């Protein structure tokens, strides 16, 4: 049986950040296992804030080398009408409009640093008492790996979700996304009023557009219909290559994002980072920075032999995200929307720009 000091499940941003930080701290008895082969698709708008940009840089990856730069044309809309121009100082967009290149570059950085990563290998079961993880290799054969520490960085749909099942998931966001070739000018549009407690982004860069809708998930709501309605009202259906008819829209991807921080440590040697910890801002959906930071915090915990660094970081996120969730409840109330978009943007445009940058985009 193979045995490693640390096994990390998932080679997304959180898992790779953890592996790189461990390596930096002198640990190289690490195995990362990843279900897919890189480059792999992850349903994500791929926006990164200045702080996320710096976090990647601190971990050794320059997002500018993955086609990331500022788009200056950044506008806010409500109910189809433009309300406010934003002086974009914080939000970077990728030329590939999603995260494929960024994740691939991060993965390759880890591999070239000497970290062992096994692709097309899936974690299928864990036995915490005996410190054993069962993995399925590309040929479909199962084997067991023994670990001292196990870090779950397997996103929202991984097996760690089952380990944490005892805690009921009360609230979560849904996000739908479609990427297509278009002739829209480079720019970022954020639309309010198309979904009840969320927003729509229309992000165009170099002839590719990414449209995404997020909302506080409510069973029974037909999100596909809301999405279609928005696409029609924005005049996007039938006018863009690859988006001639509704059949194309139905190829869109959807995913949930977590709301609320979960338990960061189970026992004394199983850690949860990234989305599986709940490290995603409930209001903005920004999760990359918190994924990277929680991955690094888990590494510091392992290096120091104490779970406290990750526990402390999880606590700070719990407080921060509770505030953002409260803001989510208030911000989408109709009178507040009226005040912000009908009064605020007209009379105090500078304040709206500042508040938007400060509380939503610069995170």
Residues of this chain that bind ligand FAD (CB under 6 A): 9-15, 33-36, 40, 42-47, 52, 122-123, 153-155, 158-159, 175, 177, 212, 255, 257, 274-275, 280, 285-288, 291
Residue 87: phi and psi, rounded to 5, are -85, 95
**Shortest Cβ distance from residue 73 to ligand FAD (Å)?**
17
Comparison of 153 and 317: residue with beta carbon closer to ligand FAD: 153
Q: What b/e string do you get for 5-25 counting C-beta neighbours within 10 Å, with b at 16 or more?
A: ebbbbbbbbbbbbbbbbbbee
Comparison of 84 and 177: residue with beta carbon closer to ligand FAD: 177
**Shortest Cβ distance from residue 342 to ligand FAD (Å)?**
28
The answer to whether 261 and 318 are in contact (CB under 8 A) is yes
**Shortest Cβ distance from residue 346 to ligand FAD (Å)?**
29
Q: In what order do the strands lie in the sheet with 199-205?
A: 81-85, 74-78, 187-192, 199-205, 208-216, 172-181, 253-258
**Shortest Cβ distance from residue 115 to ligand FAD (Å)?**
15
For the record, the structure tokens of 124 come out as 């299928």
Comparison of 4 and 345: residue with beta carbon closer to ligand FAD: 4
Comparison of 230 and 345: residue with beta carbon closer to ligand FAD: 230
For the record, the structure tokens of 306 come out as 């104490």
Comparison of 285 and 345: residue with beta carbon closer to ligand FAD: 285
Comparison of 15 and 63: residue with beta carbon closer to ligand FAD: 15
Distance CA 56, CA 48 (A): 10
Cis peptide before 349 (omega within 30 of 0): no
Comparison of 274 and 344: residue with beta carbon closer to ligand FAD: 274
Question: Which residues make Cβ contacts (< 8 Å) with residue 101, sequence separation at least 6?
Answer: 39, 66, 67, 94
The answer to whether 262 and 270 are in contact (CB under 8 A) is no
Comparison of 155 and 309: residue with beta carbon closer to ligand FAD: 155
Comparison of 123 and 297: residue with beta carbon closer to ligand FAD: 123
**Shortest Cβ distance from residue 334 to ligand FAD (Å)?**
25
**Shortest Cβ distance from residue 287 to ligand FAD (Å)?**
2
Question: Which residues make Cβ contacts (< 8 Å) with residue 264, sequence separation at least 6?
Answer: 271, 272, 273, 277, 294, 298, 307, 310, 311, 313, 314
- Distance from CA of residue 298 to its chain's centroid? 18
CA 195 → CA 200, 216, 224, 252, distances in Å? 8, 9, 11, 17
**Shortest Cβ distance from residue 202 to ligand FAD (Å)?**
13
**Shortest Cβ distance from residue 319 to ligand FAD (Å)?**
18
Question: Which residues make Cβ contacts (< 8 Å) with residue 295, sequence separation at least 6?
Answer: 13, 14, 15, 16, 17, 18, 19, 21, 151, 153, 273, 274
**Shortest Cβ distance from residue 14 to ligand FAD (Å)?**
3
């Amino acid at each position: 049986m193979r045995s490693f000091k640390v096994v990390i499940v998932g080679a997304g941003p959180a898992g790779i950040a953890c592996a790189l930080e461990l390596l930096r701290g002198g640990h190289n008895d690490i195995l990362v296992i990843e279900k897919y082969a890189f480059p792999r698709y992850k349903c994500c708008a791929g926006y990164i804030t200045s702080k996320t940009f710096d976090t990647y840089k601190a971990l050794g990856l320059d997002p500018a080398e993955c086609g990331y730069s500022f788009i200056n044309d950044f506008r806010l809309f409500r109910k189809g009408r433009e309300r406010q121009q934003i002086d974009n100082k914080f939000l970077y967009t990728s030329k590939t409009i999603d995260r494929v290149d960024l994740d691939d570059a991060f993965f390759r950085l880890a591999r070239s640093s000497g970290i062992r990563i096994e692709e097309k290998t899936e974690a299928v079961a864990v036995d915490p008492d005996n410190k054993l993880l069962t993995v399925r290799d590309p040929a479909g054969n199962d084997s067991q790996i023994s670990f001292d520490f196990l870090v779950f960085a397997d996103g929202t749909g991984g097996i760690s979700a089952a380990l944490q099942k005892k805690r009921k998931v009360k609230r979560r966001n849904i996000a739908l996304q479609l990427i297509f070739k278009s002739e829209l000018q480079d720019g970022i549009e954020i639309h309010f009023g198309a979904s009840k407690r969320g927003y729509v982004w229309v992000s165009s860069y170099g002839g590719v557009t990414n449209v995404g809708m997020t909302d506080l998930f409510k069973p029974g709501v037909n999100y596909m219909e809301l999405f279609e309605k928005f696409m029609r009202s924005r005049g996007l259906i039938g006018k863009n290559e690859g988006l001639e008819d509704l059949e194309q829209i139905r190829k869109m991807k959807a995913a949930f994002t977590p709301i609320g921080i979960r338990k960061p440590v189970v026992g004394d040697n199983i850690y949860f980072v990234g989305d599986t910890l709940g490290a995603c801002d409930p209001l903005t959906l920004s999760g990359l920075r918190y994924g990277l930071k929680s991955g690094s915090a888990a590494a510091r915990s392992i290096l120091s032999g104490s779970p406290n660094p990750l526990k402390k970081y999880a606590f700070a996120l719990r407080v921060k995200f509770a505030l953002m969730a409260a803001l989510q409840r208030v911000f989408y109330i109709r009178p507040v929307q009226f005040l912000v978009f009908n009064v605020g943007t007209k009379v105090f445009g500078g304040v709206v720009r500042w508040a938007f940058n400060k509380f939503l985009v610069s995170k």
